[in-house]
């Protein structure tokens, strides 16, 4: 019996399940951002858990691999999540600003949850004497400062939601002054003024905690 080897059937390479899921999530997030930008509030409800899940997974993954003496930067996670979840072939500053607006707030939640677990059962200690930038950290020694900052931000939000949002975008999202201005639809000058006032108010509030 002879076997005909003249015709070789080549099968298509299989796309890995993880990669297929990543591509699906990217497509979905991009569509939801576009819908939200057009005023669809339901899109935000569907977008939030997708972004939250990605940020938590990234944080957990990075923390497992974290080297001794190396500090995980929360703002870097937000930027990485954006690159993973939004279609980079369709750049849009509106989509980018909307994404960072959501992600910065969620990053704050993840950081504070992490800090509360680290700080659970520990005594209160002395007054907070670090800057906002130092408090926004995954470092265990900064757990108390971050919890106090979160409470102070809640208090600020009741007094001035815009200033609270500016702080979130700057310290938890890592946005520049100009990017924050785009997100909040104000001038960069207004953003700088809001941040100066918010930082001073928060510093005093944290000192009294």
CA 34 – CA 40 distance, rounded (Å): 9
CA 45 – CA 62 distance, rounded (Å): 27
Name the residue with tokens 């870097």.
76
Tokens of 44: 């935000």
Contact (Cβ atoms closer than 8 angstroms) between residue 177 and residue 167? no
pLDDT at 119: 64
Residue 161 pLDDT greater than 90, yes or no: yes
Averaged pLDDT of the chain: 78
pLDDT at 189: 97
Tokens of 49: 């858990």
Q: Model-level pTM?
A: 0.71
77 pLDDT band, cuts 50/70/90, is confident
């Amino acid at each position: 019996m002879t076997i005909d080897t003249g015709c070789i059937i080549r099968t298509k390479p299989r796309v890995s399940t993880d990669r297929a899921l990543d591509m699906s999530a990217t497509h979905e997030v991009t569509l939801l951002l576009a819908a939200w930008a057009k005023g669809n509030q339901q899109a935000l409800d569907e977008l939030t858990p997708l972004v939250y899940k990605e940020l938590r997974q990234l944080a957990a993954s990075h923390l497992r691999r974290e080297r001794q003496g190396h500090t995980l930067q929360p703002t870097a996670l937000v930027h990485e999540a954006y690159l993973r979840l939004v279609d980079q072939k369709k750049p849009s500053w509106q989509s980018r600003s909307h994404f960072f607006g959501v992600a910065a707030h969620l990053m704050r939640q993840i950081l504070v949850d992490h800090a509360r677990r680290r700080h659970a059962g520990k005594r209160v200690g002395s007054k907070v004497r670090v800057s906002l930038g130092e408090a926004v950290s995954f470092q265990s020694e900064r757990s108390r400062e971050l919890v106090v900052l979160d409470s102070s931000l809640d208090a600020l939000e009741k007094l001035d939601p815009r200033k609270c949002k500016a702080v979130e975008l700057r310290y938890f999202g890592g946005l520049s002054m100009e990017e924050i201005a785009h997100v909040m639809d104000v001038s960069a000058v207004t953003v700088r003024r809001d941040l100066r006032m918010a930082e001073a108010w928060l510093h005093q509030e944290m000192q009294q905690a």
